[in-house]
Amino acid sequence: MPEDDADRDQRLAVVVAKPRAQTVIDALTDEGVYDADRSVRSWDDDGVAVPVTAPPQTVDVREIVQQVGEPRLRTLEDHLRQRGWTDDELDAAPSSWAVVGSVVLVDVGDAPRPEEVGQALLALHGEADTVLDRGGISGDHREPNVTVVAGEGDTETVHTEHGTQYGLDLAEVMFSPGNKTERARMGDAVEAGERVLDMFAGIGYFTLPMARAGASVTAVERNPTAFRYLVENVMQNGVDRNVQPYRADCRDVVPEFAREARADRVLMGYYEAHEYLDSALDALASGGVLHMHEATPEALVFERPIERLEAAADDAGRSVEVLDTRRVKGYSEGVAHVVVDARIE
C-alpha cells in the first residue's frame, strides 16, 4: 500500500547524545531499524535525531520522536551536485573518508573548493561537527598534519569501536581508521592473564582492546600528548588494573621488563618496527608470540618483514615460526601496511 504524504513527512527518530551518535547508528543497523534513507539531524544543544524505521528494542536512547524527514542525499556526489559541481570537478572530489567520533577525516587532495567538500560531508554525516583535511604523519612522535576545512573546528573527540572508547585530539596524535579490524583482532587474540608488552602504545590503539579482554599489558609511549590520552583512556575504559603505562622509549623499558618476567606476547605496532627487533626479542618469552607491523613495498610484501624477523632471531640465537601474515591497508602509493605474527622459540 503506497505511503501517503503524512506518512512520508512524519517518521520516527531516536534522540541520543551527539558523542554516542556513531555507536548508536551501528547498533541500530545491527538491529535492522536504522533508516538510511533519511539524514541524521541536530536536535538540541547536545543531541541528534537518528532516523529509524521502528522503535529500537536493544538500544538505549534518550527519547523517540516524530521527525520531519526529507529524503537523504545518499552520497558525497549527490551533495556536491546540489551545490553545482560539474562532472570534471566531481572527478577530483575525494572518494573516501572516515568518521572518527565527531570528526570527519578526509584527504581533500586536488578537489576544488575544499570548504564545500567539508560542508557536504557535514551534511552527509549529521553526527559530525568538524571536517579535517589530513596530510601526512611526521616527526619522531608521529604527529599528524591536519587542516580544518569546515565545521566547528573542534579536533578533540571520543571515538568508539567494538565497545572501546578512544579519547584523542586528531590535531595532536595520529589515528588510523583503516586499522579498525586489526585493533579488534588483537582483543580477540589474547587470553585473560597473558603478559603483553605493547612497545608503541600511542593512545592505546591495541592496548585497550587487549586489556579489556583480560590481558596484563605494559604499554610504552614516548609522545607526551599521546601518553596523556593513553592514561585517560585506560581510566575511561576501566582497565587501570590491567595496564601499566610508561612514558619512555621502549628500548629503555625492556631491560627492566625482561628481568621481572618475559612477555607472552609482544606487539610492535609501528611501521619501522624492524629497528627495534632486538629489544622485542629480549622481552619475549620462549614460545611467545610477536606481532610485527611494517610498511612494505608491494614487491616485497611479507618477504621483507619475514626476512628481517628471521635475521634478528638468528642473531639472538632463536627460531621463528610464522603463524600468520596480513595486509592491513594501503600505506602509500605502492606500499602496503602488513603484519607478521610469529612464534619465537
Going by the annotation, the residues of the binding site are 176, 183, 221
**Looking at the chain, how many residues does it have?**
345
65 contact partners, CB below 8 Å, separation of at least 6: 12, 13, 14, 15, 43, 49
Is residue 291 within 8 A of residue 330, CB to CB? The reply is: no
Nearest CA to 205 out of 293, 299, 319 is that of 293
Euclidean distance between CA atoms 101 and 260, whole angstroms: 39
Q: Answer for the pair 172, 134: CB distance below 8 angstroms, yes or no.
A: no
* Numbers of helices and strands, H then E, in the chain: 11, 17
Binding residues for S-adenosyl-L-methionine are 176, 183, 221
CB within 8 A of 25, min separation 6: which ones?
34, 40, 50, 127
* Dist CA 11 CA 67 (whole Å): 5
User: Which residues, including other chains, have CB under 8 Å from residue 301's CB and lie 6 or more apart?
Assistant: 327, 336, 338
**How many other C-beta atoms can be found within 10 angstroms of the C-beta atom of residue 145?**
12
